A and B are shown apart, each in its own frame.
Chain A
Amino acid sequence: MTSFAWWLRDSAEMVGRNLIHIKRTPELLLDVTLSPIMFVLLFSLVFGGAIETGVEYTDYLMAGIFVQTIAFAGIYTSVLLANDLQKGMIDRFRSLPMSQSSVLTGRTLTDLMRALLAIAIMWIVGMLVGFRPTGGIVPSLGAIGIMLLFGFALSWLGVAAGALVRTPEALQGIIFAVVFPLTFVSSAFVPTSTMPDWLQWFADRQPMTLVTDAVRSLTLDGAGGPAAIPAILWSVGILVVVFPLGLWLYNRRTTQ
């Protein structure tokens, strides 16, 4: 077999291992199942009546919930990787003649599957409370593609963070302190037009807003709108930086 074929096989092995973990510890899926359901219900039923967006709030909200969940699921890769590092699992893998980067591709691919599951669940729950993706099937698939690309990029950001930060617990805190504000200072839950000018300037340009706007536009109007290209560029840009950075940090951490 070529080394590429071995890399694929080892990555599949790693995905298989991660899936067994999910099967045996279903709690690992709470962040991509229960929490987004809660968010959909809370925002649409509690805040929905009070927020003026120009369209039905549930329709407006869904793109935001999608992207928030994807962002958290992606960055959560860091916690799962830090766990393996802490428990000596990575040292075991490093003593084996396997493709070493497959540990990371296996991890990020599994998290991509988690993201896809999250999208499916939210889509269904959203439709139950009034979400009507009138944009059509092909644009909706495009929206899912943009979300998965964003999630995959953040997953590699998670690899870099997981290799850099010592403990899973510390990572949880950092994620909460960084990702939460970013999702709120965006168009995820409210239009940015009511924010102070300086904040709106930032909110309109940060990736959460652009990905959310692109998804919203595709699912509701059937067209990418002005945000689609910048959204894709942001994800590709993040990936171009954090993919090699993640590999490098991981190698550095594990060869100490």
Chain B
Amino acid sequence: MPRAMIEAAGLHKSFGDTHALRGLDLGAAEGTILCVLGPNGAGKTTAVRILTTLTRPDAGSASVAGIDVLRHPSAVRQQIGVAGQYASLDEVLTGRENLGMIGRLYRLAAGTVKQRTGDLLERFELTDAADRPLKTYSGGMRRRLDLAAALMVQPPVIFLDEPTTGLDPKGRLSMWDLIAELARGGTTVLMTTQYLEEADRLADDIAVIDHGRVIARGTALQLKQSVGGERLEVVIDDEARLDAARRVLETIGASPAHVNAATRSVSVAVASHDGVLTRAIRALDEAGAHVDDIGFRRPTLDEVFLSITGRPAEEEAAEVPA
């Protein structure tokens, strides 16, 4: 059994009347990626802020790399790298200056700082931009520099708060590769995300949180099975036939159908692909619903939420402390 590098139990945190966390438990074993998945306002950022010593919880306990976060925050800070929306870099300094400053503040020797800075800039393809102020960087370059900053001391545990939010698909893919590579090298990663696809792709373990509590946890496979696996989605050409289409799909699928009138689409969970498309098209045709588009897709975070909580993931402004 590999040792637990991140442990949190019963975390509570309120900001005035807003209860950001209400008894949150998390855990990650060495060298694994834990994805904390949830909508805006679920408490993701507050959880990460507590684990990275930035915020003190009202109740509960937490340890990182076996060190108590509340009792020994400075010792924890030597073991972690942090990247994300809340811990920013200096806009005015260049990429190289930012990394240099952070390396020195981690108390690395001057020679090590210089070498590490050069290595990281190269690895993250930022060498050409290294001597430009950060405010000239694109979103993707900034995220890469963020991650480089988190890796300055090769920490055993890193925290990434929504590392791909705002990135284009190419930037997102390259960020995924970098994160997966870290875990292969033995680093424990806790990352937050709003995208099920991202968690699916990277996570060894997923914790779905809502209203400051973990409402589901497991591997991506377990989670998707709990939602009903892949979904068959059909777009029909006539809104009046939506209800007919819903009835048809419910005889084929393995869950109640989800109807979206705005996009004239109906979706339903399916257990396997075998023969499903042919049967669906034939049955829909017989019911007089003409198919514009049909295909399989993975469940979205919305559907995970719908299935676990019985309601869609909603946006709430409970996340950001001052």
Contacts and interface: CB of A to CB of B under 8 A. Distances in A.
Given A17-B90, A88-B86, A95 B53 contact: yes
B97 A20 contact: yes
Given A95-B87, A166-B322, A24 B54 contact: no
Contacts of B102: 92, 96
Contacts of B88: 87-89, 91-92
Secondary structure call for the B interface? loop
B277 interface: no
B107 A92 contact: no
B105 interface: yes
A255 interface: yes
Nearest to A91: B87
A98 interface: yes
Interface in B154-181: none
B56 interface: yes
Contacts of A94: 53-54
Nearest to A100: B74
A17 B91 contact: no
B104 A95 contact: no
B105 A10 contact: yes
A92 B77 contact: no
Interface in B73-109: 74-75, 77-78, 80, 82, 85-93, 97, 101-102, 104-107
A92 B89 contact: yes
A256 interface: yes
Contacts of B85: 88
Contacts of B86: 88, 91
B92 A91 contact: no
A180 interface: no
A24 B105 CA distance: 22
A53 B106 CA distance: 57
B89 A97 contact: no
Given A88-B85, A97-B74, A97-B78, A17 B93 contact: yes
A87 B107 CA distance: 24
A6 B92 CA distance: 25
A18 B88 CA distance: 16
A176 interface: no
B149 to A, nearest CB: 8
14 contacts: A13-B101, A17-B90, A17-B101, A24-B92, A25-B92, A92-B87, A92-B89, A95-B52, A95-B87, A97-B77, A97-B107, A98-B107, A255-B55, A256-B15
